[in-house]
Chain A
């Protein structure tokens, strides 16, 4: 997937650190443009001549026990690494040669043998353990081109739609004018072509669905394994499932007795359905309602990320799983009843044509009734959905609304089920029999599958709980091993020198954050960190590929790299806006969990002491939410960004993605509402 990236980490001779830093500052760091360009490159490092490069930066990491100082060059670019390195050596041969001569292992022949230099770079490229891009798949020229289209159209429309101008009455007519403008601007062919986005983005939902199915299948296998280990074969399992259904049936029986004593006509209402089925359904429904109420209550404890703690999240997630399993059981029960209920009807034996007709008519009337009820249900669900479009409800009413919505959906599901049963009751017995032969094994398999899946998921959660407790124990030990990050608050003045460039000059709109932390000792910590980085890498590639990472909409390109054989964690990040608001997003949005899971495995050293990341609880919680110590920790871990280059330094991630959407919509068939939305985007 584009963009591609390199992270070249080379050991630097200890006495060259300062000269190298100064050389880079004076010769490589682009300056605020005085004439037309916002960012102007230096003659020795003409970064802007590499048309495919999004970002690059130079950072120098200080020596840490046993590790020599190192020079880090990171770049994000389109196309292959080989082409990029060729370009890099072409635009800055002299400058690169001067710096890298200070690095150990650099070929003696230097730039005279560019192939060797390139090989040196490739050898020291550590890539990234986790990489995130805010606008995946977009090339530099595309981002710039789409930005130009939007800017031009915004200016054009602003001019065209001023008071006193003749404006076409219909928005569609304006869109036609806009299209003509784009076509007339020469970039027509390019702009009219559909945007090609990476497959990870195009099939995002499909991939997510496949992942969920895979997880359920795996859980089911795990459940089967657990059951087998516990000594239950398929036979005894069948008994367990049946026993379980029987319990539901008994519960249902009690409800039905209650109901039929109070409302005797209920039994009359659905004579075609066996009482046992009805009882089973009522039992399952009651269980479902109980689970859903518990779930909503747990959810409504608080919507603040600060309250989503382990003891609330685990039960909540298990309840959701249980609820889905119950729905599967209800569907299965209805299907089974549909194919078996017909047999029960047969003995009544109304042979006369008139009797048949009466029966059919009764079923027809009932079906129409069900259809009507479904329509009414649909009406209410729609109005419940619309209820919050204009005005949100407060917490209690919102929960009641959701419960009402769920009950409606559920009632519609049951109604649909009854409809299926009714239809089944009048179908010829032979047809039902053949259906039964197909459906019964499927439903039985479904029951078994769902049962195993639930067992598997509960087992996985039990294992997860053990893992969490282990992590909790490690976190407890850390408190005595490391100093509290709050101690770093007093080092603000020393650290301020590292980030003097932020928010000014060429960094007014986009900033760079380089941070290096030491991984806590212990095999468990190292593997935990690798696992978390791997998971976040998967997530950012397949799920967070629409411009935001866990709710943060300002990251342009970020990477986490384990360096020095996994002893240190390097974080390089290009983000939009100011540091303070960027860090706040990390602290206050959902992303805080991922952030905690990564950095809780690290510490920083300062003035002879070691300070741990603000203590997390069970990997995901607290940690960075202690805002002040966390910010002090980030500042301490921060390394000065000596050189930074960005190809579109005034754009925001939101803007880049919106520009792509605009270009995509420009030449599509649009409804009037879509046209309005498109024009509002300018």
Chain B
């Protein structure tokens, strides 16, 4: 297997930038009359983008601003920033690219997260399978539903003040060609610049530590380090603070690179590459080193969640003491608030991170410890959905996502009483239909998940008639009616997170539009000149 060109991959894929806790997601669209300005902007932007590994030509230059994760990690003090950029299908179409190359992107990406329903249907198929109906229907969203979105800037910084400076400077840089999308729905009239923050305790608004279980890409620096470490038989933990994977964790969470980076073999041993680029040498493969980015703005109703946890506590434990409520809430998620999984076992208490090397089939097949319908079990069933545990674990690796979500809005008890809070959910995957969407419709929102009969993800946005949460216990299981979802979708879109070279190729294509409008034949000739 050829090694991954990490220096061409955007940094977000390898890191959630824990050292840059302040972030903003700027949703924009191209101005209709921007001419070649979009190309110039993208070309300039490509040089500022945070990469996963040092660019070859910059490897040893001492720059003021780190542009790759390794230098970012090494940097101490001072203000540091990271910029990433992602485009939607409509954005790509406005860049003067070869139509055949655009057609090679995945259909669900080209169609978008919220396509218009067919003439005789009330709801589009995609909205149906994502569960974006009723309260969560796209026409109620703040953004991404009915409005056109062309792309998103993902900005990260060490400090709140510096983040504002960064937002200002980046918006100024793109002023000539892009405008920030204006919100519809609840936040009508305000520009969509979603600011979020990673707290020190890594907790989201319901109070649970987030982002514990992530797949590790085979061939990534972390996977390599872990493998080397195991071979040398030295202690698992090192100065990185327990980021090494034990042999057991490697079995569970090592996933082939093609599941997250296009152009490399995935779990089915396929590599998704551009046929056009393969046939015409010299053409840039726009897919290579890119990945799809799913963005969902999910609003959380913390009070309703707490109320439900109290009701659950009453029915399981017979009281609503804070400790019982915490335990009941943990049943809904599958982990305690501090991140420890409900599945007990030889959790190493000396480790700084929560235990993540568990499987279900042998440890908790019937769901007595972690209910079958709990959030973490639905979102990542590990080894329970399949004919046997081994096969199930292998199959589940085809449906993993890398999560980069961060909470937005004030934490509970802070801010104005009517303040809105939620999570800016980000999933990175190479196949939206097979990974993000599959997790949504077949696991989270499937009432028949794992042999159940009713109920959806306890913290999902979907509800069915007779929605319930089942707690497996002795002597008989408990079924608790869930009044309504605690999460509402407020916006979202499918983006593509291109490789750096692909961004440069896009910039070149857009810049070449400078000339006066050409006839169709001339244009195709010129385009083949650009790509040939």
Contacts and interface: CB of A to CB of B under 8 A. Distances in A.
Leading 6 A-B pairs by shortest Cβ distance: A504-B128, A163-B318, A492-B107, A157-B476, A652-B448, A581-B442
A419 B306 CA distance: 71
A162 B121 contact: no
Contacts of B110: 492-493
B437 A580 contact: yes
A680 B448 contact: no
A150 interface: yes
A565 interface: no
A551 B390 contact: no
Nearest to A650: B447
Given A303-B390, A500-B125, A576-B448, A490 B475 contact: no
B318 A391 contact: no
Interface string B96-138: 0000000110010011000000101101110111000100000
A509 B447 contact: yes
A167 B275 contact: no
Nearest to B251: A394
Interface stretch (B48-56, B391-399, B482-490): B391-399
A151 B453 contact: yes
Contacts of B107: 492-493, 496
A152 B386 CA distance: 29
A497 interface: yes
B478 A171 contact: no
Contacts of A502: 125, 128-129
A391 B362 contact: yes
A162 B315 contact: yes
Given A503-B441, A627-B268, A580 B434 contact: yes
A119 B156 CA distance: 73
Interface in A491-511: 492-493, 496-497, 499-505, 508-509
Interface residues of B, number: 58
Contacts of B442: 577-578, 580-581
Contact of B438 (A580, A587, A625): A580
Contact of B269 (A150, A306, A655, A658): A306
Interface of A: 25, 38, 150-151, 154-155, 157-158, 160-164, 167, 171, 174, 303-304, 306, 389-392, 486, 489-490, 492-493, 496-497, 499-505, 508-509, 551, 576-578, 580-581, 584, 587-590, 625-628, 650, 652, 654-655, 658, 676, 679-680, 682
A489 B362 CA distance: 40
Contacts of A650: 447
20 contacts: A154-B477, A163-B318, A163-B319, A303-B391, A390-B362, A392-B389, A493-B107, A501-B125, A504-B133, A578-B446, A580-B434, A580-B437, A584-B398, A588-B268, A589-B386, A627-B434, A650-B447, A654-B451, A655-B453, A679-B475
B451 A161 contact: no
B322 interface: no
A659 to B, nearest CB: 9
A654 B107 CA distance: 31
Chain B interface, >50% SS class:
loop
A676 B395 contact: no
Contacts of A493: 107, 110-111
B390 A392 contact: yes
Nearest to A490: B103
Contacts of B448: 509, 576-577, 652, 654-655
A392 B111 contact: no
A158 B121 contact: no
A25 B119 CA distance: 13
Contacts of A161: 473, 475-476, 478
Contacts of A588: 268, 395, 398
B437 A500 contact: no
Contact of A500 (B121, B398, B447, B478): B121
B365 to A, nearest CB: 11
A401 to B, nearest CB: 14
B527 interface: no
B433 interface: yes
B316 interface: yes
B437 A174 contact: no
A678 to B, nearest CB: 10
Given A150-B453, A304-B394, A158 B362 contact: no
A581 B398 CA distance: 11
Interface string B463-497: 01100000011111111100000000000000000
A308 to B, nearest CB: 13
B118 A497 contact: yes
B362 A503 contact: no
Contacts of A577: 441-442, 446, 448
B317 interface: yes
A587 to B, nearest CB: 8
B318 A164 contact: yes
A503 B129 contact: yes
B314 interface: yes
Given A161-B475, A161-B476, A588-B398, A626 B270 contact: yes
A162 B478 contact: yes
B314 A163 contact: yes
B37 interface: no
Contacts of A652: 448
B214 interface: no
B443 to A, nearest CB: 9
Nearest to B394: A304
Contacts of B473: 161
B353 interface: no
Contact of B477 (A389, A581, A590, A680): A680
Contacts of B437: 580
A501 B117 CA distance: 11
Contacts of B317: 163
B449 to A, nearest CB: 9
Given A162-B318, A500-B125, A503-B129, 17 more contacts: A154-B453, A157-B476, A160-B476, A163-B317, A304-B394, A389-B362, A490-B103, A493-B111, A497-B118, A500-B121, A503-B128, A576-B448, A578-B446, A584-B395, A588-B395, A625-B268, A679-B476
Contacts of B386: 589
Contacts of A654: 448, 451
A581 B395 contact: no
Q: Which of A150, A486, A489 has the most CB of B within 10 A?
A: A489
B272 interface: yes
A492 B104 CA distance: 10
A628 B105 CA distance: 12
A653 B272 CA distance: 34
A173 B472 CA distance: 19
A490 B319 CA distance: 58
A174 B480 CA distance: 20
A145 to B, nearest CB: 15
Scoring A155, A500, A679, A682 by chain B CB atoms within 10 A of each residue's CB, the highest score goes to A500
B387 interface: yes
A578 B434 contact: no
A590 B386 CA distance: 11
A201 B317 CA distance: 44
